[in-house]
Amino acid sequence: MSILNARFRHLWLTVVATILSLQLYAQDSTYTPQPTTRQTRQQAKRNRMNNALRMEEEGDLIFNRQNVFGIRLATDGYGLSFEKGYFRTPTRTFLWDFELNEKHSQKEHHVSAGDGFDFSSVVPYKLNNLYEFKVSVGQQILIGGKGNKNGVAVSAIYAGGLSLGMLKPYYITVQNAVSYASNQMTYAQFAKDTILGDEVAGAAGFLVGWDNLTVKPGVNGRQAMRFDYGRLNQTVAAIEVGLTEEFYFGKMPIMYLVPAKQFFFNAYVSILFGGRK
């Protein structure tokens, strides 16, 4: 009888151990391992890429930064620009803008001087060439997305910053018809020191006058609308139209006997091209 009881207890212990093992296995089979930090980063990266691809298909502009070059034609001159943009939100981009422009007076006009092989052109009564270098910061605000890859993205832009106005004296070549002596001078000097037989033979050239350059500081502002028609979001192909204002801390004479200005206001159109990353 004791032998039977011992066998029964052994069988009972075996059954209990088997049941406990099956329960533990069932619990282990339902366990879900937690993702590691590396897996979390990889999944987040995949999610960002998928989201960017989706927004690319929908025509949204998604990037980290952009470099944009521009050729500008204004109502009072022309110039070149370079823009560095940093993506902040899906609708806002922070901008650094650099410009180099030449400004003209509305009184300017070119006429021919000399004849034959000595033909040249000159701007009568021009005193100075006005060049300006501008640095500004601003924002580009997306108003309307492309909708699709073939659409046009419309943005509003506002910016402001500092300007350096550079006045380079405009020299002309004056030749005496009697003595054939020639000299280089400004129109102000020509008006005061003209002698019998002096004639304007032409402009002295771009390289003359830099040693008498005058620099004056100022401030600037810009408001514009940009129309980006580029087919690919990685490239910038746009037209920008807008207004600019410059105020200089000093008179900026351009033409002889024409009142010099400190405040300049103009409208412009720019052709822009560049890339995004």
DSSP state of 209: T
Each residue's pLDDT tens digit in the chain (277 positions)? 555 455 556 665 665 566 655 555 555 444 455 566 777 777 776 766 565 555 555 445 567 899 999 999 999 999 999 999 999 988 899 999 999 999 999 888 888 766 544 556 888 889 999 999 999 999 999 998 765 566 788 999 999 999 999 999 999 888 887 777 788 888 888 878 776 667 888 788 888 999 999 999 999 999 999 999 877 777 889 999 999 999 999 999 999 888 999 999 999 999 999 988 8
Count CB neighbours of 139 within 10 A.
16
* C-beta separation of 229 from 152 below 8 A: yes
| CATH 3.50.50.60 assigned to 63-276 | no
- C-alpha 243/C-alpha 270 separation (Å) is 11
**Domain ranges across the chain:** 1-31, 33-60, 63-276
Backbone φ and ψ of 148, nearest 5°? -160, 175
